[in-house]
Structure 1
């Protein structure tokens, strides 16, 4: 009885605390409890940080990320920005604007690829079990079905190794240089309204009243689309990669990537870019722009970047 009363008092105290503690402080308390927690196969949004609003908020770790060129850093700091710096559109020095954009985005691209690699690892484990005629555990089977639906693959009741191979064709990384170059084009180096207000880096469209997005100011009459918005920048990066990895339009990119892997070639943005000729209505001109941005800004060196282990 005494324990029951004690637990009731604890619940009441927690309820009172939540009632008086501002949401912002509560989020801060949650974030500092797991700022560097590394969860291999989950986004872990509690570890994401908002850009500093001034020098007073610029910690040494953030300064290491935002004030340095990521092209000269061996291990990229494991710092994930929740949104782009608000002063990005006001920066007049183009080189500085680009550097800040790349520094903010690169860790997120690497993290999104890291999550994809974790999924590939799971698939390879499952494939091995299937080849060995071992029964999948219930969590493995559930995860496999869920992942197949996410990537628009139909699985039969009896899954074979070939079905896993079809998923492995889709679930693979996107070179950082390609992702950053496309984000630079679609978001005007992070200065567009969609990027600043909705974390929309790649100009993805959505339809429907319930779809979360921003209505373009110059949307043509009769059009009903919105530019898809996101709570976190990482969500935008992951949605972009999922789009390239599952949409039938980009089957050519996935095939080329698989061929490069089979031949032992290094995946680079410049080599994969020609397979994106259908990404924009501008076709070949769009591809030329992507390749030019990669080469002019030396983004190809980012394809060898990796996140720090700490």
Structure 2
């Protein structure tokens, strides 16, 4: 038993050192607060944009497929198999229910993602992002891919998830928001905006994140302040302009 625990500890340390790098080293050398924030937002925006583009591609695929003649769908085709994978990935109940897909397969506004990244990672300087590439405070109960939080109680069993890259952390964050029923109000409000042909507002949608943090309403207020004070909605506009090109 003792040997297995030692082996597990060594494995976790090895995995952490092998994969986790956090923000670039030059980021941690910046002393000016304004410059630190600017670097943080610009650096993560590129990754957020990449993940959102992947989601938009999935969204377009599903929309195109389910808007076609369903009677002509070949159950052995690559397209059909991909639809099955997306159904499982996003936890969709009915295979051909387009509305359910459209509610769950959609972007996370950059302003909201950046605000949560800043809050959850202590502006990129928390232990979790430095040692585990964990930007958004993701938990896991799998000890092989997690590190023990410093103040974890003896009776608790959760670990802080270790990601190979920051990009992987962002991908997991977006998938969590998109498929977890704890964020049903987020799905609902985002879909309303889509139906009304409005650009998705990160500021408005951030106010549906009540279940993301244990501090409740205070968390929503913090996100609103971070978005407004740092003018993060400019990243929403930037993203929408870029995808229209």
- What are the within-5 Å matches in structure 2 for residues 116-265 of structure 1? 116-130=55-69, 133-136=71-74, 138-155=77-94, 159-160=95-96, 163-210=97-144, 212-265=145-198
SS, match of residue 265 in structure 1 = coil
SS, match of residue 112 in structure 2 = helix
CA deviation string 1:220-253 (max 9, x = no partner): 2211111112111111111101001011100000
**Matches of 1:267 and 1:205 in 2, distance apart?**
28
Structure 1, unmatched stretches of 5+, are 1-81
Tell me, yes or no, if the aligned pair for 1:88 and 1:191 is still in contact at 8 Å.
no
Bigger helix share? 2
SS, match of residue 305 in structure 1 = helix
Tell me, yes or no, if the aligned pair for 1:91 and 1:97 is still in contact at 8 Å.
yes
Tell me, yes or no, if the aligned pair for 2:73 and 2:80 is still in contact at 8 Å.
no
Structure 2, unmatched stretches of 5+, are 1-20
CA deviation string 1:52-86 (max 9, x = no partner): xxxxxxxxxxxxxxxxxxxxxxxxxxxxxx85113
**Matches of 2:27 and 2:132 in 1, distance apart?**
15
SS, match of residue 213 in structure 2 = coil
- What are the within-5 Å matches in structure 2 for residues 39-58 of structure 1? none
**Matches of 2:157 and 2:238 in 1, distance apart?**
40
TM-score, length-scaled by structure 2: 0.85
Residue 274 of structure 1 corresponds to: 207
CA deviation string 1:1-45 (max 9, x = no partner): xxxxxxxxxxxxxxxxxxxxxxxxxxxxxxxxxxxxxxxxxxxxx
CA deviation string 1:99-151 (max 9, x = no partner): 111111000001100000000111011112245x3224611111111111111
SS, match of residue 152 in structure 1 = coil
Equivalent residue in structure 1 for 2:33, among 83, 90, 94: 94
User: Structure 1 residues 287, 308: CA separation in 2 closer, same or farther (over 3 Å shift)?
Assistant: closer
SS, match of residue 227 in structure 1 = strand
SS, match of residue 160 in structure 2 = strand
**Matches of 2:243 and 2:67 in 1, distance apart?**
30
What is the deviation of 1:154?
3.1
* Runs of 4+ residues deviating >2 angstroms: 86-92, 306-309
Residue 17 of structure 1 corresponds to: none
TM-score, length-scaled by structure 1: 0.68
User: What is the aligned length?
Assistant: 221
Tell me, yes or no, if the aligned pair for 1:153 and 1:167 is still in contact at 8 Å.
yes
User: Structure 1 residues 130, 226: CA separation in 2 closer, same or farther (over 3 Å shift)?
Assistant: farther
**Matches of 2:152 and 2:69 in 1, distance apart?**
50
- Choose 1 or 2 for highest CA Rg: 1
